[in-house]
């Protein structure tokens, strides 16, 4: 298996297809196009012509970065691909962040994924993440 990493090339259609591979409700094409255009940095991992993993990052390039939508196709999980993507995200932060400063890197994870992220130094804090699905009229 020879994997290729691509930067900032993941399309909305590819995002939706990959998102659907792990279950759950997929976003609309229009939403996803807007999201891809406004994502700070995105990674996709390919096995030949098949997208097998992705991750996105939001942030202000100064104080805060937020890791979002880390997805690996089920049949490719537990092969080091998630680790490879997180390493690439941290490389982006290191290459683009303000030198000599500390930067807040955040993410939200389902309980069963927390041990994976703890390997990278993430830890839980007492703040509770609040969310709301707001219906745009």
Which pLDDT score is estimated for 35?
A: 95
**Distance separating alpha carbons of residues 56 and 75, to the nearest angstrom:** 21
pLDDT above 80: residue 18: yes
pLDDT above 80: residue 119: yes
Give the residues across from 4 on adjacent strands: 46
Decide which of 128 and 119 is more confident.
119
User: Average per-residue pLDDT in the chain?
Assistant: 93
Question: What residues contact residue 108 under an 8 Å CB cut-off, 6+ apart?
Answer: 129
Spatial CA neighbour of 41 closest among 14, 15, 66: 66
Which pLDDT score is estimated for 25?
A: 87
What's the pLDDT tens digit per position in 28-47?
A: 999 999 999 999 999 999 99
| Segment among 2-11, 13-22, 96-105, 127-136 with least mean pLDDT | 127-136
């Amino acid at each position: 298996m020879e994997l290729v990493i691509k930067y900032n090339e993941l399309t909305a259609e590819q995002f939706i297809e990959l998102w659907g591979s792990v279950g759950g409700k997929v976003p609309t094409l229009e939403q996803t196009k807007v999201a891809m255009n406004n994502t700070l940095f995105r990674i996709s991992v390919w096995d030949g012509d098949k997208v097998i993993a992705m991750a996105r990052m939001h942030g202000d390039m100064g104080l805060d970065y937020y890791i979002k939508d880390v997805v690996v196709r089920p049949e490719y999980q537990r092969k080091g691909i998630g680790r490879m993507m997180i390493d690439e995200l941290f490389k982006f932060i290191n290459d683009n962040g303000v030198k000599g400063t500390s930067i807040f890197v955040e993410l939200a994870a389902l309980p069963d994924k927390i041990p994976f992220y703890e390997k990278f130094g993430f830890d839980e804090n007492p703040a509770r993440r609040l969310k709301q699905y707001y219906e745009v009229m």
